[in-house]
Amino acid sequence: MHRLAATYQSLGEYKKAEKLEVTVLEKRTKLLGEDHPDTLTAMGDLAVIHRDLGEHKKAQELEVVVLEKRTKLLGEDHPESLRAMGNLAITQTPCWLWGNLAVTHYNLGEYKKAQELQVVVLEKRTKLLGENHPETLWAMGNLAVTHSNLGEYKKAQGLEVVVLEKRTKLLGEDHPETLRAMGNLAVTHQDLGEYKKAQELQVVVLEKQTKLLGEDHPETLRAMGNLAVTHRNLGEYKKAQELQVVVLETLTKLLAMRDLALTHHTLGDRFDDSRRL
């Protein structure tokens, strides 16, 4: 039942997933007790689905319970406790490295609460895993995002510089995580009015994303859009316009292709047209 719920979730059918996860949680609570690890896992999974549905208050209520029980049963330094703490601070990605409670605070706009938890998560991950561990770098990057949302751009910039340096050293300059870190730092430069610095990084990101992922990839289009904004901030309106036209045309084409594929599927078309799109 849990696996089916996970499948529904991956397909974006969150209501069906939610219904199954509620049943899983009820049965595990009855059979195993409310403090059993499997019960807490089910509770955390249901919280994630609530977040996917935009039901952040419901997610928060569950994640507070998970965090309290994980901390009590396993200790505050246990990976599962840190995962629960992180998820109560920033929801976005389904990256447990952010921590569940931190994720939800973030989604509710409770950036200060998210920040408090993320500081703890980063300190503990650094102590337990080392400053170069991927989970430590994720925690650092997530804290930087929260700093930015609080208008603390210098603090965000300081962390993002470290993340970019370490990602480049550990993964190489063409790795997706390195490019993501570079893009994040560029956005912070932009927030600080450092448009030339932002532009330099964004040009590199766009070139590498285009080469690695192709012109039509969402990450490439995002990079193109970000560079267009920087061109505009620098008064380079023609350059900005050229990029924005490309983004708009590409998105229009991709949406049209998607709609045609969905139509084939809905009509039960047995031809291979939609597969070739």
Can you tell me the distance from the alpha carbon of 101 to that of 114, in angstroms, rounded to the nearest whole number? 8
φ/ψ of 270, rounded to 5, equals -90, -5
Which is nearest to 133 in space by CA: 71, 187, 212, 79? 79
Round to whole Å and give the CA distance between 69 and 112: 23
Q: Distance from CA of residue 243 to its chain's centroid?
A: 25
Do 1-119 and 165-277 agree at the fold level?
yes
The region of weakest confidence among 52-66, 193-207, 239-253 is: 52-66
Task: Give the CA dihedral 9, 13, 18, 23, nearest 10 degrees.
Answer: -90
Residue among 205, 172, 170 nearest 187 (CA): 205
Q: What is the pLDDT of residues 37-89, one digit of tens each?
A: 888 888 888 888 887 787 877 887 888 888 888 888 777 767 776 666 666 65
| Fold of the domain built from segment(s) 1-119 | 1.25.40
Start-end of H helices in the chain: 2-10, 14-32, 37-52, 56-74, 79-86, 100-107, 111-129, 134-149, 153-171, 176-191, 195-213, 218-233, 237-266, 273-276
Which CATH number is associated with domain 165-277?
1.25.40.10
pTM (predicted TM-score): 0.61
The fraction of the chain above a pLDDT of 90, given in percent, is 38
Q: Helix 195-213 vs helix 176-191: angle between axes, to the nearest 10 degrees?
A: 160
- Domain ranges, ordered by start, for the chain: 1-119, 165-277
